[in-house]
């Protein structure tokens, strides 16, 4: 996920770079970064501020979506 850079209008319409698709051994995977407050109860007020944000990476098989 760290090296993914194929962000285009179709997969990143808001320019947030928090979602992508990769193919590993012919299997499609989606990944998504979510931004929560420190207690992970609500969305972060400022996702760019790591002092008030907990980031969660979700990886799933595309077929499970």
pLDDT of residue 4: 81
Give the mean pLDDT of 43-58: 96
At 41 the pLDDT is 97
Strand partners, 24: 27
3-state SS assignment for residue 28: strand
Name the residue with tokens 């850079």: 5
Give the C-alpha separation, 52 to 54, whole Å.
Answer: 7
pLDDT (tens digit per residue) in 11-46 = 788 888 888 888 899 999 999 999 999 999 999 999
């Amino acid at each position: 996920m760290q090296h993914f850079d194929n962000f285009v209008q179709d997969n990143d319409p808001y320019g947030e770079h928090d979602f992508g698709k990769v193919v590993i051994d012919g299997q499609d995977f989606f990944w998504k970064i979510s931004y929560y407050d420190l207690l992970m109860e609500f969305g972060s007020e400022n996702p760019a501020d790591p002092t008030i944000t907990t980031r969660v990476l979700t990886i799933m098989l595309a077929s499970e979506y």
